[in-house]
Copies of this chain bind each other. A is one copy, B any other.
C-alpha cells in the first residue's frame, strides 16, 4: 500500500478485516506500506499491521511477493504510480479521484485496459458504493423500483472549513488536491448518481465558488513550514460547487458539494425520483434507506425506512444481527473483499478506471462550465 494517512488507515482496516468476515478465496498478506517520511511510515506499518515498510514506492513494485498495489496518496501522484504498477504486473486499487486531470485519467485508463488484456486488473476506490444501503438501492433500481428516473438530487455537505482560521492543508491546494469540494466529495455523488441509475451525465451547468481566499499556513505536519502564526497562503481550490446536469436516460440531476454547510458533518445525500417510486439516502444515517413505492395507493404509500442490516442485504449477512449497524470503515472492508474476490477470479472489478475517468470528465465539464459563465457544457 502506498500512503498511510486517512485513506491509508481506512484501507488498512479493510485489508485486515475482509477475510475475517467474508469467505475470500485467498487471504491477503499485508506485505509492505510505503510513505514519504521514514519514521511515520515505520510507525504506520506497526500500527496498521504491515509486515514491512519503505519510502520508495518503486521498491514496492520490484517485489515479487507483492501482487496488489493499493494507492492511497494525494491525487497528483496517482497516474505515475498506477501506470508503473500496472506495467509491473501488479493489480491496482487506486483511491479516488482517479487523477487530478482528465489527461492523467485517460493515460491511466489506457494503461488499465492494456493491463487487463494481460490479466492485470484495476479498480478505483469509490468506497461509498459499498455502503450496504446504497448497494441495496442499486439492486432496487435495477429491479425497477424507481421506474424511469426523473430526478437525481445529490448533496455532499460538510463543514470542516467554515472557520476562516482553519489552516491551509493540502486538500486546499490545487497542485496537490486537484480540486476542492468538487473533486473530493462531489466526485462521490457524481459516481453514485451514475452507479445507482446506470446512466451517465452528458451535459452540465455549474458554478464553483470560494468563500475564504486566504488561510493560515498549516503546521509542518502537512509538509509546510509555518514560520509564524500570522502567515497566510492562498486557497487555490473551490470551497463549494453547485451544478445540474442531464443524463443519457433523460433524468435531471442536481448536485451540491460544499465544505461550508455549517452543522452538516458528512451529509452525503442522494435521492432518486422516478415514475414508479423514489429512494433517498443520507450517510449520516448510513444504515437506513428510504424507499417510496409509487405504485401503491397514495393512501397507503410513504417512505419506508428500511434498516439495511438484514442477512440478505448486500454485505450485512457477513456481520451482525439485524439492527446492529455498521460504520464508515465497513465500506472499505467491503471494497477490499470485492476486489480480492474479483482479482482471484480474474474478473475485472467495478468501478473500473474507465468509470473513474468518466467521473473526472464530469468534474472537468463542471469546471469548464463554471469558468465559461455556467452555460451547458458537454461531458
A interface residue numbers (CB < 8 A to B)? 6, 10, 12-13, 16-17, 20, 47-49, 136, 150-151, 153, 155, 157-160, 162, 205, 207, 209, 211, 240, 242, 244, 250, 252, 254, 256, 258, 260-267, 273-278, 283-287, 289-292, 294, 298-307, 309-310, 312-313, 319-330, 373-376
Determine if B307 and A302 form an interchain contact, defined as CB atoms under 8 angstroms apart: yes
Other 5 A-B pairs with CB < 8 A, given A260-B273, A263-B302: A150-B211, A162-B294, A291-B302, A326-B328, A327-B330
Provide the bound-state CA to CA distance between A205 and B327, in Å: 38
With A16-B20, A20-B13, A150-B211 given, is the CB distance from A278 to B306 under 8 Å? no
Determine if A160 and B321 form an interchain contact, defined as CB atoms under 8 angstroms apart: yes
How far does the Cβ of A282 sit from chain B's closest Cβ, in whole Å?
Answer: 10
Provide the bound-state CA to CA distance between A299 and B298, in Å: 22
Determine if B207 and A244 form an interchain contact, defined as CB atoms under 8 angstroms apart: yes
Determine if A267 and B323 form an interchain contact, defined as CB atoms under 8 angstroms apart: yes
The residue from B244, B291, B300, B324 contacting A327, defined by CB atoms under 8 A apart = B324
Provide the bound-state CA to CA distance between A264 and B136, in Å: 20
Provide the bound-state CA to CA distance between A303 and B292, in Å: 11
Determine if A242 and B244 form an interchain contact, defined as CB atoms under 8 angstroms apart: yes
Cβ–Cβ < 8 Å partners of A205 in chain B: 205, 207, 374-375
How far does the Cβ of A208 sit from chain B's closest Cβ, in whole Å?
Answer: 10
Cβ–Cβ < 8 Å partners of A321 in chain B: 6, 160, 266
Determine if A273 and B277 form an interchain contact, defined as CB atoms under 8 angstroms apart: no
With A16-B20, A323-B158 given, is the CB distance from A252 to B242 under 8 Å? yes
Determine if B374 and A265 form an interchain contact, defined as CB atoms under 8 angstroms apart: no
A-B contact pairs, 25 of them (CB 8 A): A6-B320, A6-B321, A20-B47, A20-B48, A150-B260, A151-B261, A158-B323, A162-B275, A207-B252, A211-B250, A242-B244, A242-B252, A242-B254, A258-B273, A260-B273, A263-B273, A264-B273, A266-B309, A284-B307, A285-B285, A291-B302, A298-B322, A299-B310, A302-B305, A326-B328
